[in-house]
Amino acid sequence: MDNTPDNPKPRPRLPPWLRVPFRGGRPRAEVRGLLKSLDLHTVCQSADCPNLCECWARRTATFMILGDVCTRNCRFCAVAHGKPAPPDPEEPAHVAEAAARLDLRFVVVTSVTRDDLPDGGAAHFAATVRAVRARLPDAGIEVLTPDFGAREADIRTVIDTHPTVFNHNIETCARLSLLVRPQADYARSLRTLATAARLAAEAEGKGHGVMGVEQELRGTGAEAVERPGAVQSGGTGSVPLAPERDAPTTLREGQSNTPVGAPHAPGGRGACHGVASARSQVTQIKSGLMLGMGETPAEVRAVFADLRAAGVQSLTVGQYLPPSRQHWPVERYVTPAEFADWGEIARREFGFEHVVSAPLVRSSYMADQAAAAAAAAAGALPPHPHQRGPVPSGHPE
């Protein structure tokens, strides 16, 4: 029978590798207090992220701008939906203040989807990036954006601020996207990523070869599934891939819930925790998807191929965990070994420069280390010996 909220199968028992110990204490309370004092939201809270305790214990947070009410209602997401309030013009400055007071060296900025705004919130993203950079000029900045309707002008508004990473999550395969993201569109997400990749390459003064992909993806998500070149079952190579750079890096995960092995960059050179400043490298293009929603192995490969054809360099793959019984039910829990295998497939068969694939991985989890590893894989930065030692207690990461 179909596994949907209206006709669910019995929920699988949560396996031990997904059981996260609670970590509270003073750092978590301090971060919560700081965010509350500045009237800021974090995706950590709004999306019920399983890594909240770990990240807040390290005094890190992913800032969610443009409010905490989304205009869309994806069936896997815990964020509230409805009619959001107008954007707060002081919010960019508040994010920058919080990042500075937390002494962050890598800042992740995401948002709810704001289809009610003419530019989808692009100008607000740009203002936030500029405000953070003014306070923390050497900090790396990742933007995790909605699709902006795949409008080039709005994507350009964000890319022109030269974030370290431009991230937009594809979330799932084309077939399931129609069911779990009814107000979004698989092909539109690919167009957003392809446009961002082209604009980032143009900003660096290089061609990228994704224009044809953008033109192919002008139709609906269903048309994208049927278009020539899409991988539908097994095998690879029918979708043209972006050129593979030397020494791609995959973060593998064994029995631990934490991916390891991300290199850090040396201090100086405008680097921040292993990530070159905006003035020293081109914006990396990143996306992520969840497993365990009912996708097939062939569909996962098809997503990998489509993302690479769109110019995506960095990939995150994690386990889908339904926020409640009213959300899309989990089909199965993917094992740590399977996640490690998918990471290797993404890197070796599809040419992603950097992959983080593990059960508890989320797109902004350890984003600083992911950006550093991708930069090192691209030849921008060498690995740093710090990766072989633990981060001192209380040190922001």
Q: What is the DSSP letter of 313?
A: -
What is the per-residue pLDDT for 34?
Answer: 72
- Assess if residue 171 is contained within a domain: yes
Look at residues 181, 189, 169 and name the one whose alpha carbon lies nearest to residue 74: 181
Average pLDDT over residues 116-128: 95
Q: Cα separation of 86 and 113, whole Å? A: 13
Check which CATH number belongs to the domain holding 275 and give it: 3.20.20
Could you report the per-residue pLDDT of 216-251, keeping only the tens digit for each?
A: 554 434 344 333 333 333 333 333 333 333 334 344
Report the DSSP beta bridge partners of residue 290: 318
Could you report the per-residue pLDDT of 321-367, keeping only the tens digit for each?
A: 887 777 788 889 999 999 999 999 999 999 999 999 999 888 877 77
Q: How far is CA 10 from the centre of its chain?
A: 30
- Assess if residue 57 is contained within a domain: yes
Report residue 8 as tokens.
């669910």
Could you report the per-residue pLDDT of 155-204, keeping only the tens digit for each?
A: 999 999 999 999 999 989 999 988 888 778 999 999 999 999 999 999 87
Task: For 196-294, list the strands marked E by DSSP.
Answer: 249-251, 271-272, 275-276, 284-291
- Assess if residue 253 is contained within a domain: yes
Q: Is pLDDT at 61 greater than 50 in this prediction?
A: yes
Q: How far is CA 130 from the centre of its chain?
A: 20
- Assess if residue 286 is contained within a domain: yes
Could you report the per-residue pLDDT of 88-97, keeping only the tens digit for each?
A: 999 999 999 9
Average pLDDT over residues 364-389: 58
Range of the domain at 42: 23-381
Instruction: Tell me the residue type at 42.
Output: T
Q: Cα separation of 199 and 201, whole Å? A: 5
Percent of the chain with pLDDT over 70: 62
Q: Is pLDDT at 46 greater than 60 in this prediction?
A: no
Cα torsion angle, 132, 133, 137, 142, sign: positive
Model-level pTM?
A: 0.75
Q: Cβ neighbours of residue 187 under 8 Å, at least 6 residues apart?
A: 174, 217, 219, 220, 221, 223, 224
- Assess if residue 4 is contained within a domain: no
- Assess if residue 353 is contained within a domain: yes
- Assess if residue 7 is contained within a domain: no
Average pLDDT over residues 123-134: 97
Q: What is the DSSP letter of 83?
A: -
What is the per-residue pLDDT for 243?
Answer: 34
pLDDT band for position 376 (cuts 50, 70, 90): confident
Q: Is pLDDT at 24 greater than 70 in this prediction?
A: no
Q: Is 129 left (phi over 0), alpha (psi -120 to 50) or beta?
A: alpha
Total number of domains constituting the chain:
1
What is the per-residue pLDDT for 371?
Answer: 78
Task: For 313-368, list the strands marked E by DSSP.
Answer: 314-319, 354-357
Q: Is pLDDT at 384 greater than 70 in this prediction?
A: no
Q: What is the DSSP letter of 362?
A: -
What is the per-residue pLDDT for 304?
Answer: 98
From edge to edge, which strands make up the β-sheet containing 106-111?
A: 41-42, 62-65, 106-111, 140-144, 165-167, 284-291, 314-319, 354-357, 249-251
- Assess if residue 347 is contained within a domain: yes
What is the per-residue pLDDT for 14?
Answer: 85
